[in-house]
Chains A and B, each alone.
Chain A
Amino acid sequence: MDVLLRPVVPMPEVVLQTLDIPVQNPFEIRKENFPNEITFYGPGLKPHKTSEFSGSLKEFVSISVTGNNCALNCEHCNTKMLDDMLDLPSFDGSLFDMAKNLQKNGAKGVLISGGSNIRNQVPLLHHIEDMKRIRKDLGMVIRIHPGLPDEETCEALADVDIDGVMLDIIGDQETITDVYHLDATPSDYEAVLERLGRHGIPAIPHIILGHYFGKMNGEWAALDIIKKFPLKSLVLVILLPLTGTGMEGVVPPSLKEIGDFFGTTRKSFPTTPILLGCARPLGAIKIKIDRMAINAGLNGIAFPSEGIVGYAGDKGLKPSFINACCGVTW
């Protein structure tokens, strides 16, 4: 009887659409639409070295404009992700000064990130002029983590010539409320993508698989939202339960769920670069996830596992390596 009482959840549009697509191996879809190449990324943040890939902490550096401060104590983060970024408020100088110092040490690009206010907006507006100088005077690549930028912020960012804005797209109200503790709805995420598109700012949406305490709640709906807007690329990440957060001890989605999602995403976005981002469970399972990403025809992988470059080669993919965030090119 319980089953009869449950509300009927409509099947996400992307799933419905893929049902109409003739059964095709997602890797074949990739072969039809992209060259036989794959890029492996080392976005800084932590030392990463395998027998096939050697990351650099100097080429691309993440900066938090709020240091460790964030008004949202999200269950999956609890400000832990800010720990590995440079702390701008503690630096004796402006954002431009910091970028200039980094460039002297070999940096070619920066991720400008930070904690949010209670509306999930990263305070970027008073750094806009510095960002313009970083682009114009230093020629560095700029990626931005804006949270959910408002109209004023998008308008200002449009003049900076940034390489892309990276933001999590959440299609599930429970995740927004219970994980982010945010007074927002999925339509707010849709509005941000619309705003970015209208201002000509390259959008790089991220979907976190298992964001609702390890469950796949709104990921398919997020694909539905994203599909309506132009993208530079799409990044998939998987919940990495961190100690000291509300997700400690949470079990991430199963390999089958992850693999199915990879495949559906490839089928739904046959010509969009899809990348496996930095966050995902570590260890032996990571190797399996990375292999599934290649099998599902994804175009790039950050922090590749041991042996995965060789695996891609066995599939006929020529590897290239960039020490920066997903999709950055020098």
Chain B
Amino acid sequence: MRKKAALILLISVLITLCFLTVDSAKKILRSDSQKISSIKGEEQRRLVLITQDLDTPFWDGVAGGAAQQAEEELVSLEVWGSYNNNEQEFLKKIDIAIQSKVDGLILQGLDTEEFKEMTKVKASFYGIPVITIANDVPMTESLRKTYVGSDQFKAGKMLASSLIQDMGQAGSVVLLYDSHSEFYQEERLRGIQDEFSQYPDIKLVLTETAHTREPVIAATQGVLNTYPDAKAFIALNGKMAGPMIQEISKRFQIKPMFLYTFDDGPELQPLLEEEKLDGIVKQDPEMMGKIGVQRLLEWLDGETVPLNINGYYTDIHIVKAGNM
């Protein structure tokens, strides 16, 4: 009896060991299958989209559209850039892209000397075509091939007319704009001023500020002190809207105020839903990305040469708080 029990024990231990061994061996053989692959892929055309504002909803949209188009056109596209308008990093990425001799550059326009130097001299030296996207820099200064994005002048006009519709034809309107003058903001401002010029009762107060948080708050305080009767506020740069509203709401009821801005800031959607913002000018970032890639390829393939100097405009529309 004991002998039998010992035999059964022995056999079961043997079977268990066999099973474990086979199991281990199987695992080893299975994981053996994958290997370092050194596939020499086809040489695809390399496009780079560079922005200063990575990971914002707007630029994610642009990048998404561009990537989709690039996939369709079978070119490789990478999105580079800096965070929070870090200009140095942004310019460095452009430099790297140029030194890497990419086939084409899609850049968020930056209205600075360094940027223009980069596109006009360096990119041209290496023969790399540049398209500005979303924010434009004048062609003469940057030698860009074309611009893809919203018609900022028209956007300014749309915003102004919408404001007049809401507020009426009289009142003071405070306008915050970037001290670091950007071409696209100038265009917007031009559009707004153009619209307001028909209504003499509207007083436009231009306030210059840097687009970072503290200066915006300071500027808002200052203008509120100087013009306590201001009824409407416009932020030319979407990034300014957040701190601006925060500051205004400290002093006044937000509801009766008319607050307008453009959609290139990060925190606009919730503000609009809370009806703190009355309206924003919505652009179409996906389309910009798509068209940007498309036009650049057209130029590279020699299908459309030269590209439209004035640019290819994408759709814009006003989104109002009530319409949400």
User: Does chain A bind chain B?
Assistant: no
B interface, CB within 8 angstroms of A = none
